[in-house]
Amino acid sequence: MSTHPTIHLFEQLAELLDLQLSEAGLDDAISRLAAWMDLARDHLTEDDLAVLGEIGGVLYREGLRRRGAP
């Protein structure tokens, strides 16, 4: 099964971040997603906001798990 093109893009960008020695983590991704959602709110549908909100929720939950929070 081939990798979805967007997932392949994510993989390439992750490799680029590694090459750049970026220390960006989940908290950075969550903050950037929230800031972008605020900026784009007038251009996003309710469905867009729901999907992006769910993605943010998954990222946030994963961050809590990595910190060992209950």
| Mean model confidence pLDDT for the chain | 96
Using the predicted structure, report yes or no on whether residue 29 has a pLDDT greater than 90: yes
The per-residue pLDDT for 1 is 80
The answer to whether position 14 is within a domain reads: no
The answer to whether position 18 is within a domain reads: no
The answer to whether position 45 is within a domain reads: yes
The answer to whether position 16 is within a domain reads: no
Query: Counting beta carbons within 10 angstroms of the beta carbon of residue 26, is it exposed (0 to 12), middle (13 to 18) or buried (19 or more)?
Result: middle
**For the residues of 12-64, what is the DSSP string, one character each?**
HHHHHHHHTT----HHHHHHHHHHHHHHHGGGS-HHHHHHHHHHHHHHHHHHH
Share of the chain above pLDDT 90, in %: 91
The answer to whether position 5 is within a domain reads: no
Tally of domains in the chain: 1
The answer to whether position 17 is within a domain reads: no
The answer to whether position 66 is within a domain reads: yes
Q: Give the domain range for residue 51.
A: 23-70
Does the reported pTM lie above 0.75? yes
